[in-house]
Amino acid sequence: MANREELGIIRGARAGRAEAQLALGKLYLSGSTGLPKSLPTAVHWLDRAAQQDCDEAWKLIATHIPLELAQRDASRLTPWYERAYDDGDAQAGLVLAQLVLDGDQGDALLRVKALTALDAAAQSGLPEAQWLLARQRALDSAVPMPSSAPLAAPGLPDPYHAQWLERAADSGVPEARFALIERAWDGEQWALYIERALPLAQTLADQSAPAGLSPDALRLLARCAQLLTDGRVAQTLEPARIQRFWELAAHGHERTAQLAMGLWLARMEVNGSRTNDGPGSANFKKAIRWLALAGEQGLAEAWFALSRIYSKPEFSQRNIAIAQDYLERAADMGYRDAQLECGLNAWRARREQEHNDVRASYWLQKAAGQGCPQAQAALLKIAPRGAPLDWGDAALSRDLISSHPFLAARIELAALFNLTRAEALLLDVKAADHGHCLLVDIRASYRRSKRRVVLLQTAQERQGLDRIVRLFEDIDCGPSGPEGNYRQRLYRFKTLLPGTFAERADEPAD
| pLDDT tens for each residue of the chain, 510 residues long | 567 788 888 899 899 999 999 999 988 888 887 788 899 999 999 999 999 999 999 999 989 988 889 888 888 898 998 899 888 888 888 888 888 877 665 577 888 888 888 888 778 777 877 778 777 766 554 434 444 333 433 443 444 456 777 778 777 778 888 888 888 898 899 999 999 999 999 999 987 777 788 889 999 999 999 999 888 898 888 988 999 999 999 999 999 999 999 999 999 999 999 988 666 789 999 999 999 999 999 999 999 999 999 999 999 999 999 999 999 999 999 999 999 999 999 999 998 998 999 999 999 999 999 999 999 999 999 988 777 666 555 456 666 777 888 888 888 898 889 888 899 899 999 999 999 999 999 998 888 889 999 999 899 999 999 999 999 988 888 888 888 888 998 888 888 877 655 444 444 444
pLDDT the model gives residue 144 = 42
* Per-position b or e across 381-405, b if 16+ CB within 10 A of its CB: ebbeebeebebbeebeeeebeeebe
Q: Which helix (H) or strand (E) holds 438?
A: strand 437-440
DSSP state of 491: H
Measured CA to CA, the distance from residue 169 to residue 182 in angstroms comes to 12
CB–CB of 69/40 below 8 Å? yes
Among residues 362, 373, 468, the alpha carbon closest in space to that of 415 is found at: 468
Count CB atoms within 10 A of the CB of residue 345.
16
CA 292 to chain centre: 19
pLDDT the model gives residue 161 = 59
pLDDT the model gives residue 502 = 45
Pairing of the two strands 452-455 and 437-440: antiparallel
Beta bridge pairs of residue 438: 433, 454
The three-class DSSP label of residue 274 is: strand
Beta bridge pairs of residue 440: 452
> Which pTM value belongs to this model?
0.71
pLDDT the model gives residue 139 = 56
Measured CA to CA, the distance from residue 421 to residue 425 in angstroms comes to 6
CB–CB of 451/350 below 8 Å? no
The region that residue 125 occupies, defined by phi over 0 for left and psi between -120 and 50 for alpha, beta otherwise, is left
DSSP state of 109: H
Measured CA to CA, the distance from residue 83 to residue 43 in angstroms comes to 16
CB–CB of 201/227 below 8 Å? no
The region that residue 172 occupies, defined by phi over 0 for left and psi between -120 and 50 for alpha, beta otherwise, is left
CA 503 to chain centre: 51
List C-alpha distances in Å: 44 to 68, 74, 109, 171: 15, 13, 27, 35
The three-class DSSP label of residue 268 is: strand
List C-alpha distances in Å: 452 to 106, 361, 442, 508: 66, 11, 10, 16
In sign, the C-alpha dihedral spanning 481, 485, 486, 488 is: negative
CB–CB of 96/78 below 8 Å? yes
Could you give the count of Cα atoms lying within 13 Å of 501 in the half-sphere of its Cβ? 24
Instruction: Determine phi and psi for 80, rounding to 5 degrees.
Output: -75, -35
Kindly tell me the burial class for residue 336, based on how many C-beta atoms sit within 10 Å of its own C-beta (0-12, 13-18, 19 or more).
buried
Torsion of CA 105, 109, 112, 116, to 10 degrees: -100
pLDDT the model gives residue 391 = 58
- Sequence-ordered list of residues with C-beta below 8 angstroms from that of 324, at least 6 positions apart, any chain: 307, 345
Question: CA-based diameter of the chain, in Å?
Answer: 112
Among residues 431, 391, 429, 426, the alpha carbon closest in space to that of 411 is found at: 391
pLDDT the model gives residue 438 = 94
